[in-house]
Amino acid sequence: MKAQAARSVWELAVTLVPFFGVLVATLWTVSAGYWIALALVPVAGLLLLRTFIIQHDCGHGAFLNKRTSNDRLGRALGILTFTPYDCWRRAHTLHHGSTGNLDARGFGDVDTLTVREFRARGWFGRLLYRAYRHPVVMLGVGPAYLFLLRHRLPIGLMKEGAQYWVSALATNLATAGFLAALMAFFGIGTTLLVVIPTVLVAATAGVWLFYVQHQFEAAHWDRRKDWEFHEAALRGSSHLDLPQPLRWFTGNIGIHHVHHLASRIPFYRLPSVLKAFPQLREINRMTMPQTFRPLVLALWDEDQRRLVSFREAARARR
């Protein structure tokens, strides 16, 4: 659980230097043809995703050895990731403290209803929930809304103190300054045509990761009276076993059950845990082809204790 200063600096360097290099190369390439430039956007987006993983580790106090250093770096990286650090850290802390708790849902999570709750809703409420859980919304509209719109204000924390307003508005101002500098060199249209797709690639990949890390058939949910932190962390989080180079781009965050057990472990030390404790390797393990089915699972069946699709819930009712 101890950060290695030299390793952390190295991981930061091999993320940010290529990111800025690819971003500038993409901006320059637009003049030679936009479709050529778009070929570089996925690489820039994945590097931005890795930047977010570092910001994520800062939020857990895991990337550097001092809390203040983590916070300063996390706030700076939030300018690039369009994510106000203090607001996100608060929401993410609540997520870690309530994962798998059916009586503490609704903050920092993918909204999930039980089968009984879904049936108790009116037709319009069921329609809205179906729309929300549709893969096109979850992985298309959702990431764009979250990173381009929702993060501009401290949604959910507006009455929790000035800190979160400062975090959101200061990040907005700094991000606007960064974009203005790019626009001064490359033009408004070119900057927007490159930056927005880059952010959307990173956002979509990030939301997909977060979804499959907690939304899978054998996930673990309990009512508060039966809920236990370590059991929920281990059983309610997946081990997404990605191939390289995706494992590198995602900062090993696929080893999510270990991360939830001990969030102070730096992302670059998570593979060492699997080597030291090989029995953790197969718990909730998923490979890339196995990540498609969870996209249709939307309801927690408290009787069967598994996540089910709308079709399965309807069939069980009949």
Domain encompassing residue 224: 5-317
pLDDT at residue 109 above 90? Answer: no
Q: Give the distance from CA 258 to its chain's centroid.
A: 16
Which of 39 and 203 is assigned the larger pLDDT? 203
Residue 219 and residue 306 in contact, taking contact as beta carbons nearer than 8 Å: yes
pLDDT at residue 106 above 80? Answer: no
The pTM for the full model equals: 0.95
pLDDT at residue 308 above 80? Answer: yes
pLDDT tens per residue, range 58-72 = 999 999 999 999 999
Question: Which of 216, 230, 4, 10 is CA-nearest to residue 99?
Answer: 230
What is the per-residue pLDDT for 195?
96
Instruction: Supply the mean pLDDT for the chain.
Output: 95
pLDDT at residue 37 above 90? Answer: no
pLDDT at residue 33 above 90? Answer: no
Q: Read off the amino acid at residue 12.
A: L
CA 55, 61, 63, 68 dihedral sign is: positive
What is the per-residue pLDDT for 96?
94
What is the per-residue pLDDT for 99?
93
Stretch 104-109: mean pLDDT: 83
- Number of Cβ atoms within 10 Å of the Cβ of 241: 16
Helices (H) and strands (E) in the chain, counts: 16, 5
What is the per-residue pLDDT for 290?
95
What is the per-residue pLDDT for 275?
97
pLDDT tens per residue, range 198-257 = 999 999 999 999 999 999 999 999 999 999 999 999 999 999 999 999 999 999 999 999
What is the per-residue pLDDT for 204?
97
What is the per-residue pLDDT for 36?
82
- Residue 38: pLDDT band (50, 70, 90) is confident
Percent over 70 (pLDDT), the chain: 100
Rounded distance between C-alpha atoms, residue 66 and residue 289, angstroms: 39
**Strand pairing partners for 308?**
299
What is the per-residue pLDDT for 154?
95
- Residue 34: pLDDT band (50, 70, 90) is confident
What is the per-residue pLDDT for 178?
97
Location of structure tokens 């101890």: 2
Give the total number of structural domains in the chain.
Answer: 1
Residue 153, sorted as left (phi over 0), alpha (psi -120 to 50) or beta, turns out to be beta
